[in-house]
Amino acid sequence: MTLLQTLQAVVVGVLVVTGTFFLLIGTIGLLRLPNVYNRLHATSKATTLGAASLFLAGFVYFGPRGAGLISLVGIVFLFLTAPTGAHMISRSAQKIGVPFVEGVSWPVPDDVDEQGETD
């Protein structure tokens, strides 16, 4: 086994461990945090980073052609769509009136009233 293959295997292992760690942290946050918005904060960042790290491991493993290129496309897709989906869910949660944790308020209170009236 050449040095390059050893380096490739070590990088793949480190990326897989990092991605699995982020997946674990995201799901612990999903189970333990008290509110929709806090759970969304945990899962949207941690799970996106975890899946992107695993895609990067696939790119390192499969090389720059074929499946490795698809891995890069997957990274770009995840980084574009995961914040969009999280924003859509949190906006709909705020629109149907899921309450915040007590002590947390909207930064400008007029915004909430204005949105509530237009709906």
| Site track 40-59 with other proteins (rule: CB under 8 A), x = hit | x--x---xx-xx--xx-xx-
Widest CA span of the chain, in angstroms? 68
Cα–Cα dist 13/78, whole Å: 21
Structure-block tokens of residue 76 = 């770009």
Cα–Cα dist 105/115, whole Å: 15
Q: Which three-class secondary structure state does DSSP give residue 39?
A: helix
1 contacts other proteins (rule: CB under 8 A):
yes
Query: 99: which DSSP letter?
Result: P
| Site track 67-86 with other proteins (rule: CB under 8 A), x = hit | xx-xx-xx--xx--xx-xxx
24 contacts other proteins (rule: CB under 8 A):
yes
Tell me the residue type at 49.
Answer: L
89 contacts other proteins (rule: CB under 8 A):
yes
Minimum CB distance to other proteins smaller for 73 or for 112: 73
Tell me the residue type at 1.
Answer: M
Binder to other proteins among 64, 79, 91, 116 (CB under 8 A)?
A: 91
9 contacts other proteins (rule: CB under 8 A):
yes
Minimum CB distance to other proteins smaller for 92 or for 106: 92
